[in-house]
Structure 1
Amino acid sequence: MAAGVVVAVVLVALVFIGLWKLLGDAKGDKDFLPEGDGWWGKGEPSQTPADETIRPFKVPYSPETMQDVRRRLASVRLAEPLEGSRFHYGFNSTYLQRVLKYWAEEFDWERTVAVLNKYPQYITNIEGIDVHFVHIRPLGVPESTKPKVLLMAHGWPGSFYEFYKIMPLLVEPQGPGATEAFEVICPSIPGYSFSEAPHKQGFNALCAARLFCKLMERLGHDKYYVQGGDWGSLIGTNMAIMRPWCVKGLHLNFVTVTGGLGRLLPSAVLGPWMPGLFGLTPTDIKRVFPCTQLLKNVLLESGYMHIQGTKPDTVGVALSDSPAGLAAYMLEKFSTWTKRENMDQEDGGLETMPVWVPTGVAAFPNELLHAPRAWLASKYRSIVSYEYMPRGGHFAAFEQPLLLAEDVRSFVKKVEELAVPL
């Protein structure tokens, strides 16, 4: 039994260490990451005039685009699912037919574009590519109240729209007598939404962090908080390592296990029987063990990452050409990553440099992986807030905006009260 657990843990660790190194995690043993520089535009930098202007942007509405989407949806061909398979093999094609019918016949694209344009958006060119971001400043707050600056970074398969429910809860003071407000910047990762994709090889989470640091500098901010989940968590972590003198605090709702196999294996093997020895709480035990289930979850949910990290152009053909394929590929994650048990429904109802800036973690119960606080200490050296959230999963800002907003506010308040020197 113990041997099986050890094998499972080793496999899980190797999968994630390999993928994380492949996809661009921070490496080394320095106290901060040297930023360097880059160029991701077409051609050479000398061929393109420098342009640091910040230009207003609105999501365009195109009847022609929607007409083309409806034409493609009308001609889609789907294979029948296995009987009783539900979402255990991915997005069930029977239910997908209902989704595509709604998209083709009922979805109001013009109204959706109006919703996307609800908040101010901008484009600016950094390292040769256009970076899109939403920028909201609080209104009606007393002049004596200086808003906290907060960058919120999304992940995959997400976008800046993930934060549309939580942003108004942060921008304006909440509750009687409340005065705390945030100025919120939500950039789109290059290649996502309306941020231009890099035209050269080698772009990774370190490069994205550098671009976001430069964006904040261009906006005139030298002190700010960062919040993120999924890739936003890794990008935010890299920002905190690159510029700890700028990042006042780092709040994460998805974190990866750190510390190396030598440190984690004893905890993984003996943790259920001696939790106190390894700093594990009853909630940690419930969420992490048995490790065989953890291995199963990793194998079930990480296949896309290997494909996208090794042969993205192949799957990219199908996702770019077929709206039905794109819907199935992305919505399946919104199903299983929100709640693991959703796959039972017919409708789908890492070892890196340390972070010294104050860090907060919101541990949602239905997240893909649970990282106990004790397993994070070797990387995040100043965890001032670690909260077990009562409900919610991977898309926290989208699913539980009130809970996440409250935790971000609580975290920032703790950092401000502690006045941790930068």
Structure 2
Amino acid sequence: MEKSKSNKSKTTQKKCKFRSCCAILPTIVVLFVAYMSYKVYDVMRAPEMPDLDLDEWWGPPSTKVLQDTSIKQFKIEFSDMMLKDLRSRLSDYQRMKKTKNMDNTAWTYGVNVEWFQTFVNYWNTKYNFTERLKYLNQYDHFKTNIQGLGIHYVRVKPKVADNVKVLPLLLLHGWPGSVKEFYEAIPHLITPRVDHDFVFEVVVPELPGFGYSDTAAKPGLSPAVMGVVMRNLMQRLGFKQYYVQGGDFGFLVGSSMATLFPNEVLGFHTNLAMVLAAKPLLVWALGSFWPSLVEDKFTNRMFPLSERLGFYMEETGYMHLQCTKPDTIGLALSSSPAALASYLLEKFVIGTNPNEKFNVDGGLGRYNIDDLIDDFMIYWVTGSISTSMRIYKEWVRNFPVENAMHNTPTAVPTWCLQLKYEIAYLPEFMLRWKYTNLLGVTPMEEGGHFAAFEMPQVFANDIINAVKKFREFQIKK
């Protein structure tokens, strides 16, 4: 009898506990939903715009006393001593005993040694240093001090009739780029066309730390902050309003300029259309369950998600290194022109068409070999490979500012050239979350990451057509 009462008591206690749990459960669900709602809201809302100092000094403190705001003409030079040293180092590499590629590996393990030996031989014996120096100096070069940094830039003014309007265009390179990557596109941008009533006056700076531009004396000069330097450069040149084009890190700098200075940037064109914010990344991840719902036409540029993530895991090891210890790898690359070229060439292979890594030449036949060496020469002569790679470190360490740039919508009219093998792809609707006046995109079934270098005429034509749309948009406003 006592045992029966005890069992009933235990049953009653269990029912009470169950009822108590049932009473608490809705509260837990409500709290969970509230928490998730807040996280979604946090993802959706734009962070506060950073309060950037437009006059922050990036040079040595001692140079701030006497600020030189003059603009000086500049000329690229190859000294005899430098050329002798370069050829000696290239010859040393050619004499080295090298580890051969394994059978049928091409560029899948990195640089194809056999092909690269031919490249080094060409650089050492057939690259015409005198003629290429003339080529590099064909445009007018200048330097001026902006916020303590000597900024090197090319400025090309077109010769046109009075009835043709001249529009200022700022072209921003990325890594491993330089002013050189725009050389073949410039003639298309400054030459009048029958179907357009405008041409461009082109300004092509080298970003701080790249080539002949000075590097920052202190940490903190991330892409967004470089946007302030580039804006001040345009102000120095007398341009109160202008158009901006950027790819790779030039995209980050240019996009930041459009975000920070919407009354100055008349239009923004990019060949790297992406938004590094939580919302598009979340939709991209969820879209792996139903890819065509996110992107039905160019589905294979985003999905399968496992393949895209696999690609990034395999091909972005250099990025992790440069985001953490750029000076270490920079020191190694600064000791050998062959090492420098091998490191950079591999990036051109993957950026142009990753499928070409299975071929012996890596698809580098799409480029003029002299053009590639011109770019490498700028890095070698200036010893700027270490300082150029610091932009990766600054990009990640200055996350709050960079994150604000990606999450803050901009109304500046925007156009995106989307080449087939670009390293990242986002559909129009995602891009509009950031660029509220995205006037259009140009999808292509060819081309890769280095648009101006690989396809200069296509690149220039798209800028011209985009600016025509920008001007029409401004008139309608």
Say whether the fold is shared (TM-score over 0.5).
yes
* Equivalent residue runs for 1:215-226 within 5 Å: 215-226=233-244
Is structure 2 residue 85 aligned with structure 1 residue 85?
A: no
Amino acid aligned to 1:151: L
Amino acid aligned to 2:69: E
Q: 1:123 to 1:300 in 2, by over 3 A?
A: same
Quick one: percent identity of the two aligned structures? 36
Tell me the equivalent position of 1:386: 441
Is structure 2 residue 352 aligned with structure 1 residue 333?
A: no
Is structure 2 residue 71 aligned with structure 1 residue 51?
A: no
Tell me the equivalent position of 1:243: 261
Gaps of 5+ in 1: 1-26
1:38 deviation in Å?
2.0
- Aligned residues of 2:46 and 2:409 also touching (Cα < 8 A): no
1:292 deviation in Å?
1.2
User: Whole-Å Cα distance in 1 between the matches of residues 86 and 269 of structure 2?
Assistant: 38
Is structure 2 residue 338 aligned with structure 1 residue 324?
A: yes
Is structure 2 residue 199 aligned with structure 1 residue 181?
A: yes
Give the alignment partner of residue 214 of structure 1, picking from 201, 226, 232. Answer: 232
Give the alignment partner of residue 171 of structure 1, picking from 190, 202, 213. Answer: 190
Query: Taking structure 1 as the reference length, what is the TM-score of the superposition?
Result: 0.87
Query: Taking structure 2 as the reference length, what is the TM-score of the superposition?
Result: 0.77
Q: 1:358 to 1:225 in 2, by over 3 A?
A: same
Question: RMSD in angstroms over aligned alpha carbons?
Answer: 2.1
1:43 deviation in Å?
3.5
Q: 1:169 to 1:132 in 2, by over 3 A?
A: same
Tell me the equivalent position of 2:378: none
User: Whole-Å Cα distance in 2 between the matches of residues 275 and 32 of structure 1?
Assistant: 37
Q: 1:193 to 1:368 in 2, by over 3 A?
A: same
SS state of the match for residue 321, structure 1? coil
The Cα offsets for residues 289-308 of structure 1, whole Å up to 9 and x where unpaired, read as 11111112211222111111
SS state of the match for residue 409, structure 2? coil
1:90 deviation in Å?
1.4
Is structure 2 residue 140 aligned with structure 1 residue 120?
A: yes
User: Whole-Å Cα distance in 1 between the matches of residues 232 and 475 of structure 2?
Assistant: 24
- Aligned residues of 1:41 and 1:199 also touching (Cα < 8 A): yes
User: Whole-Å Cα distance in 1 between the matches of residues 99 and 432 of structure 2?
Assistant: 48
Q: How many residues align?
A: 389
User: Whole-Å Cα distance in 2 between the matches of residues 31 and 384 of structure 1?
Assistant: 24
- Aligned residues of 2:165 and 2:197 also touching (Cα < 8 A): no
Gaps of 5+ in 2: 1-44, 364-402
Tell me the equivalent position of 1:95: 115
The Cα offsets for residues 29-76 of structure 1, whole Å up to 9 and x where unpaired, read as 246864443222224344x41101010111113122111011011112
My pick for the range that moved more, 227-236 or 316-325, is: 316-325
Q: 1:28 to 1:52 in 2, by over 3 A?
A: farther
1:421 deviation in Å?
8.2
Structure number with the higher helix fraction is: 2
Tell me the equivalent position of 2:180: 161
User: Whole-Å Cα distance in 2 between the matches of residues 198 and 381 of structure 1?
Assistant: 33
User: Whole-Å Cα distance in 1 between the matches of residues 140 and 122 of structure 2?
Assistant: 29
SS state of the match for residue 417, structure 2? strand
User: Whole-Å Cα distance in 1 between the matches of residues 435 and 218 of structure 2?
Assistant: 32
